[in-house]
Amino acid sequence: MDNGEPMMEHISALELILRRDRMIVLAGLTGVAALAWVYILYLARSMSAMDMGSMPMGMDMSTPQMVSWSTLDFVLTFMMWAVMMVAMMVPSAAPMILVFATVSRRQRAQHRPFVPTSVFLLGYITVWSGFAVAATVAQWGLHTVALLSPTMVSTSPVFGGALLIAAGVFQWSPLKHRCLTHCRGPLGFLMAEWREGTKGVFAMGLRHGMFCLGCCWALMTLLLVLGVMNLLWIAALAGFVLVEKVAPAGQWVSRVTGLLLVGWGAWMMVSGWG
Encode pLDDT of 127-182 as tens digits.
999 999 999 999 988 888 888 877 778 888 899 999 999 999 999 999 999 999 99
The pTM (predicted TM-score) of the whole model is 0.84
| pLDDT tens digits, one per residue of 42-78 | 888 877 765 444 444 444 433 334 457 788 889 999 9
* CA–CA distance, 55 with 49 (Å, rounded to integer): 10
Per-residue pLDDT at 59: 43
Distance (Å) of CA 175 to CA 181, 240, 262: 10, 18, 18
Model confidence at 251, pLDDT cuts 50, 70, 90, reads: confident
| pLDDT tens digits, one per residue of 215-246 | 999 999 999 888 888 889 999 999 999 999 98
The amino acid that residue 26 corresponds to is L
* CA–CA distance, 120 with 84 (Å, rounded to integer): 19
